[in-house]
Structure 1
Amino acid sequence: MADSDPKAALQRGRFDIGVIAAALPDSATTMLVDTYLTDRPAASARVFRVYRPTPAHYHAGCDEYLYVLSGRGTFWIGDASDEAEFGPGQLLFFERGVVHALPRLIEEPVVFLSVDTPRRAPTDVIFVDPATGTAESFMARNATGSDPA
């Protein structure tokens, strides 16, 4: 059972992941939309939906654990030749600075539970080819005029 008060849930750590995932929008102009579950210096946890393939990028400040809640696609970590299909129930892990990408969405919605250690700042995304994306095009909370909540 989840807490009905979101602030209380953040203090106690009780979340209904299915409800949170279902509340993500059906479409977005950015590559992904997320909802923070926790946002502490030691770690942050989020639920996010991917709306389009994500080009090669990395995060400078954190390691990332991605648990696949729904959907299927392909993902590579470290080298494009490592591309493999993922699906619900799988965990993807990569250390900070390791280049990764999600080149194909096969079955939608693609939704992940993410745990970042230490906390991942929303703007911590560096695209290998800067022409393929920016922090603003990557995540809705970074887009101009968005609500950073």
Structure 2
Amino acid sequence: MNDRRSMGSFDIAEIAASLPEHATTLLVDRYLTDRPSASARVFRVYRPTPPHYHAQCDEYLYVFSGRGTFWMGEASTKAEFGPGELLHFERGTVHALPDILEEPLVFLSIDTPRRDPKDVIFVDPKDGTPESFIQQSGGY
């Protein structure tokens, strides 16, 4: 049997199912690819994410499962999202996921260029650190 990852093929449902049911961090991710030009990840969100931004990359989030709310720029732009939708946050754009309406909330993320796991800046530093934000779960 061929290793699908070596061929650039990934079973998102299988990866999503392998993520833990509970986490001490806000989310757990698994890198699929990690190249300088872009990274691809699958991650599950466990708690609402406070306002933050990424200084080094644009983030494209395809909603694989679950439902929630997000806002971009300011809280007054709050809207719902669900499976099959794509959310796009340009680098430096403050965004948040204030509500998880249906679990498991899982995204396929493409980051351009590559997102360093420490590239998360909270608007209010009391909301967390890169270490409290994300935990990596194996992967690439």
TM bracket, shorter-chain basis: over 0.9
Q: Summarize the alignment of residues 2-17 of structure 1 with structure 2, pairs less than 5 Å apart.
A: 5=3, 9=5, 11-17=6-12
State which of 84, 92, 97 in structure 2 corresponds to 1:97. Answer: 92
**Deviation digits for residues 9-32 of structure 1 (CA, Å, limit 9, x no counterpart):** 1x4310111000100000000000
- Cα distance change of structure 1 residues 74 and 131 upon mapping to structure 2, 3 Å threshold: same
Q: Quick check: 1:120 aligned with 2:115? A: yes
Q: In 2, Cα distance between the equivalents of 1:55 and 1:4?
A: 41
Match 1:132 to one of 100, 122, 127: 127
1:22 maps to which of 4, 17, 23: 17
Contact 2:70 2:98 in 1 (8 A): yes
Q: What letter matches 2:41 in structure 1?
A: R
Shift of 1:65: 0.3
Measured after TM superposition, the shift of residue 39 of structure 1 is 0.3
TM-score if structure 2 supplies the norm length? 0.95
User: How far does residue 133 in structure 1 lie from its aligned partner after superposition?
Assistant: 1.1
Q: 2: CA distance between counterparts of 1:116 and 1:104?
A: 23
Residue 26 to residue 102, structure 1, CA distance change in 2 (3 Å): same
User: Could you tell me which residue of structure 2 aligns to residue 80 of structure 1?
Assistant: 75
Residues in 1 aligned to 2:138 and 2:64: alpha-carbon distance in whole angstroms: 25
Pairwise CA RMSD: 1.7
Where structure 1 has 5 or more consecutive residues not aligned to the other structure, the ranges are none
2:49 matched to 1:54?
A: yes
Return the alpha-carbon distance in structure 2 between the equivalents of residues 118 and 107 of structure 1.
30
Query: How high is the TM-score relative to the length of structure 1?
Result: 0.89
Counterpart of 1:40 in structure 2: which amino acid?
A: R
Partner of 2:87, secondary structure, is: strand
Q: In structure 1, what is the Cα distance between the partners aligned to 2:30 and 2:138?
A: 11
Identity value in percent = 71
Secondary structure in 2 aligned to 1:20?
helix
Q: Which residue of 1 aligns with 2:61?
A: 66
